[in-house]
Every structure is written in C-alpha cells, then in structure tokens.
Structure 1
Amino acid sequence: MLVKQRKQWAGVILAGGESRRFGKPKAFAKFKEKYFFEYAMEALAPFADKRMIISHPSLTDRFNRRAAVKVLEDLPPYQGNGPLSGLYSAMKQSDAEWYVVLPCDMPLITAEVVSQLAAAADESVDAVIPIINGKIHPLVAVYHRRVLPIVTDQLASGNYRMIDMIRKITVKERTEADLLSADTLFQNINTKDAYSQLFTGKSCDPLT
C-alpha cells in the first residue's frame, strides 16, 4: 500500500535543536561510519519520495554539503521554538497527506519501525505515535496534514509543547509489542555518556 501511495507521504528529520547537552551537533555525530542523521534518512527512504531536514540555521550549509535531500529551516514567526515549529515548517513548505517524523539523534531507528507506524495510519486518526516503556515519543511519529491548523493555533498562542498538541488530536498509540521492535531502538542520544554506550566497549572519541 505504501509503495503505491508514496507521493502522499513526506519524511521529516528534525534537526533544529542546539545540542547543548551533547556539546556538539548531534546530527553529525558518527556511529558505525555514518552520521546520525543518515540513519533517519535511510529509515524514511522506503516510505516517502519527499524527504527533508528541518535544520538549525547554523547547520544548514553543512547539511547541504552532505545530504541529498531538501534542507529547510523553521519559518518565522516561530523560528527556534522546538519540534512543534519544525513540524509546522515542514507542513507549510511541503505538500503531502502524511508526514513521517524522525529526530536526528536516534541512530538505532529502522525502516521496519517506520513501516509499522506508517501501516497503522488511516483516516480515522490524526497521528500514530509510539508509547515505549510507557514513554510517549512524539518525534518518532506519523502526522496527518489535518493537524496543521491545530499546530498553527498552538504556536500562535505561545505554547510550544508537542505533548499539549497531541492531547488535541486523535492518536493511535503503538507499543514496542505492536511495532515488533526492541525498546532500545528508541534511544535518544542526548549526552556524551549515552553516546559512548552505543559502542559496547569499543574505544572511541565520541565527539570526533
């Protein structure tokens, strides 16, 4: 089904954060000879002809040199206001029915996970969002374009919390059992310690 309808799907990689806890841009950290953002690109590739990176302005040129997809920035007047503004900017700058969203700091995520999320999307819901070990993951999710007015209204009100937007829409939840995947695939790499744990004893400089 997804292959036949690929033009209705857009893939969005959110890379607009400042990576303060990590110390350097997480999108360009490497794991097994690939940048973090490349894992997200590969996971999205089978499901979306349109793929884009929503970049922090300081990284736009760097992405343009290394990514063979469209690189966009948050649109004013909501620039720099977190993932919600990233979702808004993606929907405003790319026409699609469904948007598959991934963060740039989850290198273990797979196309199989994306496949299960996308397969669960239908016209009865506004979004498909994983609940892994009881934790909601709104940045590894599928959103229908119909949420754009809700996203816009919330941004205009000055509320930038993804979780508050999710409470206003119809969500289909998927657990690790539903997704046939290990909970470890949903690990965000936010700190140097978390990054080091990816390497299972391998000696490395985590920030080179």
Structure 2
Amino acid sequence: MHARQHSAADPDVTGVVLAGGRSSRFGDADANKAVASFGGRTLLGRVVDALADATDRSPVVAVRTAAQRETCAAALSDRCVAFARDDAGFDGPLAGVFGAADAVDAPWLFCCGCDMPLLSPAVVRWLVDTLRDRGDASDAPPAALAVRHPDGTPEPLHALYRTSAVERVRNRLPSSAGPRALLGSLEPVVTVPVDAAPAGLPVEESTTNVNTRAELAAASPPPATR
C-alpha cells in the first residue's frame, strides 16, 4: 500500500463502506457477500484497504444487524475500522449512508459498496483532488461530487457527499428511496466524466460492483501493489 502525499488543503474525508445488504442474489440465505474471497482477500477487506489508503482515515463500515457486524469485525480483525448501524428509517443503501453520517465527524463522506472488488485508491484520490480544486475555485462547496458514466448517468455509490448536505435532506426522502434519489435531492452536485480522468486511471473498473458469484468470478483481481 502506498502512502499518500497529504496536504492541509485536502478535504477531510471518511470512507464509508455499505455492508448492510442481504446478499440475496449472491448465494444461499447464509451467504454474506462482504466476506467472499477475491484475490486472496475478502471483498470487504479490499474496499477498506483502498479507502484507508486514499483518505488517511479509518473507514466506517455500515451494517444492518449485529450478526453482520460480528462477521465483518472478524474479517477485519487486523484493520482499524469503525462501525455504524444502518438508519432503521430507510431501506437499502441509504440506510447505511444516513447511519454513517450520524457516526462520523468528518465534513465529507466517500460512500461505496462492500461489493466493489476493483475499487481503486488512485481513483478515489483523484475525486478528492477534484473536490479540493473545485473548492479552491469557488466559495460554495458542492453538496456531492460523483463520476459521470459515458451514458450520462452519475454513479451515486462511488461518490463524495458533504455530510451536512446529506443530513439536511434526510427528512425529505421516503424510506424506500435509493442512492440516485439522494444524489438527485442535493444541490449543487458536481459530476466528473470518466474521460476527464488522467490517463491510466481505472475509473470504470473502480465503480464496478458485483451482485452474483458469477460476476465475482468474472472479475480479474488487479496486480499486487504491496
């Protein structure tokens, strides 16, 4: 893992890993996708390592149940992480986003799923740097910053959120709202096209999530960098 060159001007970001899903498409009823193995590490371990590398802060893992926390804690026993409990007022990923917002003191959250095996610290750092540069050029920081795919859609679960902005819209969203509804409720949102990334950054790979064992098997672990 490469040490990051930290600047006092960098936004203060905590990485949030959403691990409260039911893994319903991944296997039998007892399967927990977060701890599936990929390239010698668990999916959760890979994501936690990437966020710790990119942000210089201990990541927060958001879980729905005590059993999930126990399973995740065992898988991360050699890593420094904190846990947050999903907000019971919401279903799906937003429960983890709002639960994490309650648990952290950082002004920015980078939210992603536990099922993103190719999450790249370099891509996360690029987004943080883009946020910093945006702040340098404007008096008003955005409420969120997200990657924009070639088809024009933003990626809400590989994105930076201003914690205070997330808190302000909590009561405006229905319990069934998804991540795109959260992103759509914030203003202003900056979206960065994939092709704006420096050459060689694996942005599309970094934003890829896996829902089934077949998708996990089809993914290729990146070369070791340690």
Length-normalised TM-score, structure 2:
0.78
In structure 2, the gaps of 5 or more residues are 222-226
Q: Helix, strand or coil for the counterpart of 2:156?
A: coil
Aligned residue number for residue 172 of structure 2 = 154
Whole-angstrom CA distance in 2 between matches of 1:40 and 1:5: 25
The Cα of 1:144 is off from its aligned counterpart by 0.5
The Cα of 1:116 is off from its aligned counterpart by 1.0
Q: Identity over the aligned pairs, expressed in percent?
A: 23
Q: Evaluate the alpha carbon distance shift between residue 151 and residue 126 of structure 1 in structure 2; reply closer, same or farther with a 3 A threshold.
A: same
Whole-angstrom CA distance in 2 between matches of 1:199 and 1:132: 21
Do structure 1's residue 73 and structure 2's residue 85 form an aligned pair? yes
Question: How far does the alpha carbon of each residue in 1:59-87 deviate from its partner, in whole angstroms, 9 at most, with x for none?
Answer: 11011223231122213343xx1111211
Q: Evaluate the alpha carbon distance shift between residue 89 and residue 190 of structure 1 in structure 2; reply closer, same or farther with a 3 A threshold.
A: same
The Cα of 1:7 is off from its aligned counterpart by 8.6
Contact 2:98 2:167 in 1 (8 A): no
The aligned amino acid for 1:168 is S
In structure 1, the gaps of 5 or more residues are 201-208
Figure out how many residues of one structure are paired with residues of the other and give that number. 197
Aligned residue number for residue 105 of structure 1 = 115
Contact 1:6 1:48 in 2 (8 A): no
Aligned residue number for residue 224 of structure 2 = none
Whole-angstrom CA distance in 1 between matches of 2:10 and 2:85: 24
Pick from 191, 196, 200: which aligns with 2:217?
Answer: 196
Contact 2:101 2:167 in 1 (8 A): no
Question: How far does the alpha carbon of each residue in 1:90-133 deviate from its partner, in whole angstroms, 9 at most, with x for none?
Answer: 11111111111121111111100101111122343111111223
Do structure 1's residue 132 and structure 2's residue 144 form an aligned pair? no
Q: Evaluate the alpha carbon distance shift between residue 102 and residue 3 of structure 1 in structure 2; reply closer, same or farther with a 3 A threshold.
A: farther
Question: How far does the alpha carbon of each residue in 1:32-60 deviate from its partner, in whole angstroms, 9 at most, with x for none?
Answer: 10111112112111314241100231311
Whole-angstrom CA distance in 2 between matches of 1:199 and 1:18: 24
RMSD between aligned residues: 2.2
The Cα of 1:171 is off from its aligned counterpart by 1.1
Contact 1:11 1:51 in 2 (8 A): yes
Q: Evaluate the alpha carbon distance shift between residue 148 and residue 2 of structure 1 in structure 2; reply closer, same or farther with a 3 A threshold.
A: farther
The Cα of 1:175 is off from its aligned counterpart by 2.1
